[in-house]
Copies of this chain bind each other. A is one copy, B any other.
Amino acid sequence: MSDLIDPKGGALVIANARTPNGMPLDLCLEGGLISSFAPRDDQGSPGVERLDAGGRIALPGLIEAHTHLDKNFIGLPWVRNETTSVRAERIVNERRLKRELGVDAGLQAERQLALALAHGTTHVRSHVDVDPEVGLESIKGVIAAREAFRGRVDVEIVAFPQSGCLVWPGVAALMEEALRLGADVVGGIDPGTIDRDPVAHLDLVFGLAARHGKPVDIHLHEPDELGAFCLELMAERTRALGMQGRVMASHAYCLGALPEKRLATLLDTMAQAGVAVMTAGPPGMPAPSVQRLRAAGVGVCVGTDAVRGFFVPYGSGDMIERLARVTERNGMSRDEDLEAAFGLITTESAAALGVPDYGLHVGAKADLVLLEAETLAQALIEPPRDRIVIKGGAIVAGTPA
């Protein structure tokens, strides 16, 4: 990162950029914020650094809304995947692999954060396993990685009971301890099929969240009406606790498999309760329709989920590539739809996750990615390899010409 520019408290002027819809754009970044869009003529002055964006398109730094920093094989020799396709068996297999291979959650988190940053991601929400075997070691590792990347990538940590928290004695206490150590969000998983008691699971998760004043983010793979029932229970608890806008249903496959009338009612319930949805656009699975969620007023965001993970080996860690999977999955082909889709990894995602001071406006955090592309739609279809990434007003990745 030898060519990186850090104004060290001064201003960074970005000249010759373009807006997402292709208009000329000059930005001035000061004090970690976007301070103006006016061209400046004091670019030679002391304390004012200048970057010629060469016509690149400026977007707010990309948001990864759902991944697992603690369990990937990035940078390691290839590990053969010999898992079954049954989720419960995959979870058991994963615990075995973590134990046998001694994968260092902190090191792997750093590797994945470096990959994310190179692709323009400046905010990551990561679920981190809390289970009876790994205890709090993964949480501690990812907290350390978060410190190592402070000022380059913001990391939200979800205390995630991958193996369930009712079926394993002690996991609930570990989750509580994870929140004290620095986890930001209370996780949950399949209240019925994994934890065997939807009401008790959700009461536990929402109870923890309410006591600690934290948001909730639940992996929901439950099928059909079981999934719909769980979403209703989540909406009820969200309203009862006044947690509107702080609850995420991750995956929510059931929303891709419900009859039309049932779907409409459920989405309305979710919109009123302020429960948002994260989708990774899974191929060959039922999945929520982005268009339907948006039309119903349900918040929606995109995550890569696994990147060279233990369950499945797929995933590059590039939010733009993942977004293209989601748009293709949702049948989007028109340029205007592809351009609007970038909201799913920028502004809409920030709203769904509650990321403050985010966007391409004066006063927003100076977190940006500059993309070399003819248009934003082209950037989606042919993701540019070299991206200039700016965090808190300093260039933190990429090589300006």
Contacts and interface: CB of A to CB of B under 8 A. Distances in A.
Q: How many copies does the complex hold?
A: 2
A83 B377 CA distance: 14
Interface residues of A, number: 32
Interface string A343-383: 00000000000000000000000000000001101100100
A333 B93 CA distance: 14
Given A281-B283, A284-B330, A333-B83, A78 B311 contact: no
A85 interface: yes
A224 to B, nearest CB: 18
Contact of A81 (B77, B308, B314, B334): B334
A83 B334 contact: yes
Contact of A333 (B77, B311, B329, B334): B311
A82 interface: yes
A338 B374 CA distance: 36
Given A77-B374, A313-B381, A374-B77, A331 B284 contact: yes
B308 A381 contact: yes
A328 B329 CA distance: 13
A357 B104 CA distance: 49
Given A281-B283, A311-B333, A312-B333, A378 B78 contact: yes
A150 interface: no
A270 interface: no
Nearest to A316: B382
Given A333-B312, A381-B308, A283 B78 contact: no
A80 interface: yes
A314 B335 contact: no
A308 B381 CA distance: 8
A325 interface: yes
A324 interface: yes
A335 B85 contact: no
A78 B308 contact: no
B81 A377 contact: yes
Specify the main secondary structure of chain A where it touches its partner: loop
Interface string A82-107: 11010000000000000000000000
Contacts of A334: 81-83
A365 B83 CA distance: 37
A55 to B, nearest CB: 14
A375 B78 contact: yes
Contacts of A283: 281, 283-284, 325, 328-329
Contacts of A284: 283, 287, 328-331
Nearest to A285: B331
Contacts of A313: 333, 338, 377, 381
Nearest to A374: B78
Contacts of A324: 314
B330 A85 contact: no
Contacts of A308: 381
Interface of A: 77-78, 80-83, 85, 281, 283-284, 287, 308, 311-314, 324-325, 328-331, 333-336, 338, 374-375, 377-378, 381
Given A80-B375, A82-B335, A284-B287, 11 more contacts: A77-B374, A78-B374, A78-B375, A80-B377, A81-B334, A81-B335, A85-B333, A283-B283, A284-B331, A313-B381, A314-B381
18 contacts: A77-B374, A78-B374, A78-B378, A80-B377, A81-B333, A81-B334, A81-B335, A81-B338, A81-B377, A82-B334, A85-B333, A283-B283, A284-B330, A313-B333, A313-B377, A314-B324, A314-B328, A314-B333
